[in-house]
Every structure is written in structure tokens, then in C-alpha cells.
Chain A
């Protein structure tokens, strides 16, 4: 026993209180009451967090109990990585019901409508701030490596440096792995061809990414180094571009 573990040393030499075990047993049995009292009396944000945590704990407990009765229930395992392909006969079980899909779609549309705003912001210039021919892009965009601005007096579309992104987080749909790959260019923006020429990246845009990192090879033995990917999030809200590789 190390030199300054005084509590443990005392316990080793003199033992514990005469009623130690009884007290310990009673304290442990009282825990259930105290926990329930706490859960009932807590209010506010603290309570919300606590209840959420407790809810997930209870689900796990229930699963363990069920597992003792039947052996087929699977429990949430933090360390295991999620599986890849799902066999067809399991698809039904894991797919959502139609109603749920519809309600999700409606919610999505509502959110989109709420958050919609102009892609191009009007910039006023001139001595009396009356001229309004300049536009600033308010969404995330991509400009190439060899991009140089037009002289400021003549540039019509301003793409601010803070909104220029070079990399995208691309998920491979079959490998279920995400890589951070450099963007080669914007192929097509579904909203408008103007956006495509400007390089604006919104949700649903098809971009070309550099996949040399993945080490894909064609049938003929040539190395694939560029592939298309479709953007799956709103980059201006999340600050990053998430895309799914189009295989």
C-alpha cells in the first residue's frame, strides 16, 4: 500500500465501524427513493437534460432485462461500428412507415420555406449610394485555384472570401465512410444556371471531387481521381459541405 493512503491503511489495521455493513446496505437501499425524489423535484433545463439521460438509461435497462428472458434482442453498443449492407429481407423492419415519411417531408418543406432568403444580396454603391447594380453572393460558393477577381470597379458578382470553401465531407454510400476531399468544381446547381456559373453551392448541387485518396481503379487499370457528389445539407447554415458520392 503506498505511503500516503491513510484511509485504506487505517481500514486495514483497525477494520471498519461495527455497523458499517448495515449502514452501507441501508444507504444503498435508500438510493432508489432519493433518485425518484430528485427526478420529481427537479425543474428547468437541468431537469430536461436529466430526464433525457435517464430515459436512455431506462431503455438500456429494459433491453437488458428482456435479454435475460429472450436472447434475440440486440443492445446498443457504442464501440461497434455500424454495419454496411442490409439484406433485403431485413429492409422492411428497418424502413420507416409511409406516414412517417410523409410527415417528415412536410416538416422539411416547412423548414425550407422558413429559412429561404435571397441568394444574391444587393450592394449599393456610388457617391449617394443610389447605384444598385452589384450583387453579393450570400451562400457558400466555390472558386477555382486560378481564380482572380475582376477589377473591383467592374465586378458585378462579389463572392466573399469567407464563404469560399475548398473541401467537402463526402460520404461513400456503400462503405458508409466519410472523407474530406478537395472540390474540383461545381457541375450543376439545380436552382439556376446562373448559380452554376457563379459556383454557388446549395443543397442538391452536384459537385466534382478529387477521389484519388480513395484509390479507385477502373477496369482497364486507370486510376480514378475525379467523381461527382451531391450536396446533402445547407452549407450556409452548417458551415461545412456534406455530400454523398454518386457511384
Chain B
């Protein structure tokens, strides 16, 4: 498995669930209706289908389990060994073997019973055979209860293992319990491993990642190892041993100088020598931890000798303190450099490097003359590189300030603001003014707008003056014209009678030829209109209305309706035409009425037989609605 993603394994159901799921699936997904009087081949096919369907389901599900679980021979030996330690290889293989056997048995059962069903003469016989077949398959599954439970537990634990890539750059921490391995990994990476004063706080492998030289490094924290022979080791220690044995990494053996872990330096050295064989071919580093309590220089002579020996064997010993972070970075850089060198070495010795080397060529330019031409490095880069190497803080951070001031510290971000007037930095900003929310009125461009407005202001002044004058003049005019009220209260235009003379004069004035009876009659009230009679009467009875006489028109409502004809009579010449028009209207509406439409714009399409009410099996419930 290239990705070591054990999280993709499907859930393994319990045996009872498995049976329930498969049987209910068969009941739902195969046809359910069969009668005695159907033809025998149809009955046989119906029951054979059920048997085959159940077998197919079991087969698929079991095959999926078998393929999902990793084969111990196919995965990286680190993971194979880890799984052996955690889950016991034999038990694991047996469980999977049982599942395989169950799968084959179910296939055989189905084959047998399908064969028998060909000789089924009646519905009863076929039904009993199907019942026997399904029952047998389910009994086989019932017997797999233990295997399925075990596999489910394995799956849950497997998906929780940390993803350790066995091939990438790794630093491995090992040593006695409580020496400071987990504190170290907490300092160097972002892994949050529990650190407690009792031994065996870390009970499994933990992984953290860090960056160095633009590369990603894995740091693996192991549970502590005690000093006894391999056979007596328990599961927790065995995980550490497995990691040591299979991961090609730099090993950091952590020792406790102050002996607070409960073991003397001598014992720690013993352990170191005992597991020495596991460190073969791996870059090794000894980390002397807890040096804030006791330094190497403060140790006794024989203890000092231990470290001197180690250094003599070319194993770097570095003092660190995970509490004060002294030396942690040094350990990191040493270990990483050593591992990189070892990896490059092994790659050079390998076979693949040659085809790369053949294509690489370092070109050295030949000297033209004696003028020196050194490489140009800009000043900024030099400064930057220096600060990076020195690893000193560049400016005082807020955090440092907080540590200094302790309880007095207050976070004051306003001191960093860049204002025009530096005194205003610590001013309180008002939020509400005169009932308005200031935040609503904030405009970042306010200064620019102000400038523009100032320029426009002068022009605007003159325009405003002019506008004011115009307004005043207008008002005066209106007042004057209102005073000239000659006519008094006026009647609406519709009531007024139009005199023929005035009409002729007006229209003549406009250039329209009013001579001839036809012209006048056509223009004003032609023979086309049904109110012709009324109108012509009113025209001939020319009477000038005087204000004093105040003769009201014959009937106000009638004259009003006379001037505005109803819609079904406007444009209609005579009753015959009116009747025809009405008939046409009715005939058009007939069709719409028959279809129950609200009007001519009603285009709604009714769904009288919705599909969801008329399809599907008759499930539980009443038969009222279908």
C-alpha cells in the first residue's frame, strides 16, 4: 500500500447486523409477488433469483472486507511488524481466513440450492428450498461472529495509527521512560504529546513534523524501553523496538543526567549497549537531557568517563535542556545534517545515481584575464543570512514585553498607528454623536472629497444666487396671475357646451377647413356615433350659459355618460352591430369556459395523476388512496 492510508477500510458489521442487512436487502430489492397459478418456470426463476441475490450480497461484502484489510506480506515490513506486535499476526490471518472460507461456503450453498430448484415442481417446494438456502447462508454467517468482532476492533485501531512514512527523513527518539523524549518532540515540532511525571506516559508511537533546510522531517517519539531481554518485552516496548528496527532514521538516544527518571547513568549506559545492534548503519546521537539540573561538568569522574568514551567512539554527545531550550536547536541541526549526509552517501553508492550523474555537468568558466570577479551578494541578503544564522530575535516582541512586565502588562496596539498627528494616538474614538452612529459615516476618501468640494464651492455660490433670483421671480408671477381671477369657480370641461361658432373659429384658426355640414358634423359628432341624436340636439340648442342664470344642464349624469360612452357601445354603429359584437365575444369565451380557464391569459396545466401517488409498491398503510 503506497499511501499507508488505513482509514479507508469499510466498517465491518457484527454478524447479526450483517444478516439483517442482507436479508432485508433481499426482501426490498427482489420482486415480492408470486402466485400458485403462475407457470412453473416463472416460480422457479423468482425463487432462484432470491437465492442468487442473497449469495451475491454476501459475496460482495465479504470480498470487500478481504481486500480492504492489508495483507501483511504486501505492506512495508515496519507496518507488518507493528501490526504483528499490536494485533498478533496469526490471529489476524486466521480471522481473514475464516472470512474467506465463509465466502466460499456461501457460494457453494447457493450453487447447490439453485441446482435443486430446477427440479422444484410446485410453489411450496421452491419456497421451502429458498428458505433452506437462505437459512444455511445465514447460519454460516452466524458462526463468523468472533472473527467479525475481532476484525472490527482491528480496523478501529488501525485507522487510529499515526501515519509514519518509513522512507522519508526521520529522527527517532529512544531511551528510558521519563528521560524527556516527549518534551523534546514538543519543543521541536507541533506535536502535542502528553508529558507527565510518571513512567510510560507515552504508550504508542507519536509522530511530529518539522522543517529544516527547506525539507520536511519526521520526528518519531517512542515509548520508553526498559532493560530486559527481547522475549520479556511487552507490547508497548515492542512498538519502540519495531520502530528502531525498521525505520531508516537518525537515532537520538536520550539520557537523563540528573537521574530523575529513576535509573542511574550506568543503567542507561547498559541499555544503550544492549540495543546497540539496532543502531547499526544509522547516524547516532546521544542527547544528555535535563542539563539545567546537572551538567556533565558537575558529574562524577566515572560518569564523565562514559561520555568521554562515547565521544571517542565518534558519537556526538550534546547537552540539552528541554525546559530552557538550551541546545535543542543544536541537536536538531546535528542530527539532520548527519542523516542527510548518510542518505546522500547511500544514494551515491546506489545504482540509480549514475544516470543522473551522467547528465549533470558543472561548468567552470575559464579565466580571461587577471581581473578578479567575485560573486555579487547584495547587502540585504547578507544581513538576512546573518540574522538567520545567529538566531537572535530581531526586535523586541510583545511576548517578551509581557514576560518582563508580568502582571502590569497591557496589550496596547494603538502605539503602532501611523497618524499625521502623533499625539492623537491614544485618544479615545467616539462612537455615537448626536444620535448618529459614527461608523456609518466613515469614508476613507474624506480628505480628497473635502478638497474637491472646496474648489467647487466658489462656482456654486454664484449659481445659487442666480437660482434664488429665478425662484423668487417665479413666485411673484404666480401670485400675480392668481390675483387676476376673472372667471371665478370653474366647471369641469366635460359639462361645458361647445358652440358651433367657436369651434369653427378655432379650427379655422388652426388651418382646418370647416366649411360644409359634413366637416363640422364629422369632426364633432358624426352620424357614426350612437349619441348622435342627443348630441346634435344639444348642438342646435345653442344657449350661452350665463353665470347669473346658472341654468343647469338637463341631467348631469346623462350628459356625463353622453360624453363618455360605455365600452361595449363605443365604436358600435347600431344595435345590429352591437348584437354581432356581443355574439363574437361569447363565442370566444365558450372554449375557455369549457376548459375551466379563468381568462384568456390562463395557461395553467393541471397534473391530475401525479406520479408519486400512482407508482410504487403497496407498502404498509391503508388502501384508501389508490
Interface residues of A (CB under 8 A from B): 1-5, 9, 43-45, 49, 114-115, 117, 121, 138, 160, 162-163, 234, 236-240
CA distance in complex: A5, B113 (Å): 48
Q: Are A45 and B129 in contact (CB under 8 A)?
A: no
Q: Which residues of B contact A115 (CB under 8 A)?
A: 122, 124-125
Determine if A237 and B125 form an interchain contact, defined as CB atoms under 8 angstroms apart. yes
Closest partner residue, chain B, to A121 (CB atom): B121
Query: Given A236-B125, A238-B129, A239-B112 in contact, is the A138-B27 Cβ separation under 8 Å?
Result: no
| A residues less than 8 Å from B124 (CB atoms) | 114-115, 237
Q: Which of B122, B128, B204 contacts A3 (CB 8 A)?
A: B204
Q: Cβ of A138: which chain B residues have Cβ within 8 Å of it?
A: 119, 121
Choose one: A45, A114, A160; the contact of B119 (CB below 8 Å): A160
Are the CB atoms of B119 and A239 closer together than 8 Å? no
Which residues on the B side are within 8 Å of A43 (C-beta)? 620-621
Contact between chains at A44 and B206 (CB < 8 Å): no
Instruction: Provide a sorted-by-A list of 25 A–B residue pairs whose CB atoms are within 8 angstroms.
Output: A2-B161, A2-B162, A2-B203, A3-B162, A3-B193, A3-B206, A4-B162, A43-B620, A45-B620, A115-B124, A117-B121, A117-B125, A121-B121, A163-B119, A234-B128, A236-B119, A236-B125, A237-B125, A237-B128, A237-B129, A237-B132, A238-B128, A238-B129, A239-B133, A240-B132
Chain B: how many interface residues by the 8 Å CB criterion? 32
Most buried by A among B116, B122, B194: B116
Contact B620 A239 (CB under 8 A): no
Write out the residue numbers on chain A whose beta carbons fall within 8 Å of the beta carbon of B194: 1
Contact residue among A3, A5, A121, A239 (Cβ-Cβ distance under 8 Å from B132): A239
Residues from chain A with Cβ under 8 Å of B27 in the complex: 45
Give the nearest-CB partner of B124 in chain A: A115
Closest A residue to B28 by beta carbon equals A45
Partner of B129 from A3, A44, A239 at Cβ < 8 Å: A239
Question: A238 near B119 (CB under 8 angstroms)?
Answer: no
The reply to whether the CB of B399 lies closer than 8 angstroms to some CB of chain A is no
Closest Cβ of chain B to A12, distance in Å, is: 8
Shortest Cβ gap from B192 to chain A (Å) = 8
Point out the residues of chain A lying under 8 angstroms from B204, CB to CB: 2-3
- The reply to whether B162 and A162 contact each other, CB–CB distance below 8 Å, is no
How many angstroms from the CA of A115 to the CA of B191 in the assembled complex? 72
* A contact residues around B207 at 8 Å (CB): 3
- Distance to closest chain B CB from A225 (angstroms): 27
Contacts of A121 in B (CB 8 A): 121
> In the complex, which residues of chain B have a beta carbon less than 8 angstroms from the beta carbon of A114?
124
Enumerate chain B interface residues (CB-CB to A < 8 A): 20, 24, 27, 112-113, 115-116, 118-119, 121-122, 124-125, 128-129, 132-133, 160-162, 191-194, 203-207, 619-621
CB–CB B112/A3 < 8 A: no
Most-contacted residue by chain B among A1, A9, A234 (CB, 10 A): A1
User: For residue B128, which residue of chain A has the nearest CB?
Assistant: A237
Tell me if A4 and B160 are in contact (CB < 8 A). Answer: yes
State the CA gap A9–B193 with chains docked (Å). 10
Distance in angstroms between the alpha carbons of A91 and B461 in the assembled complex: 123
Interface centre among A2, A3, A49, A237 (most CB of B within 10 A): A3
Alpha-carbon distance between A44 and B46 when the two chains are bound, in angstroms: 23
Q: Which 7 A-B pairs have the closest CB atoms?
A: A237-B128, A44-B620, A238-B132, A3-B162, A162-B115, A43-B620, A3-B206
Which of A4, A44, A234: most chain B CB closer than 10 A? A4
**Bound CA–CA A117/B40 (angstroms):** 14
Contact A3 B191 (CB under 8 A): yes
Set of chain B residues within 8 Å of A238, measured between Cβ atoms: 128-129, 132
Give CA–CA (A117, B161) in the complex, Å: 63
- From residue A9, how far is it (CB to closest CB) to chain B in Å? 8
CA distance A239 to B116 in the complex (A): 7
Minimum CB–CB distance for A198 against chain B, Å: 15
A1-B194, A3-B191, A238-B128 known; A162 vs B116 contact (CB < 8 Å): yes
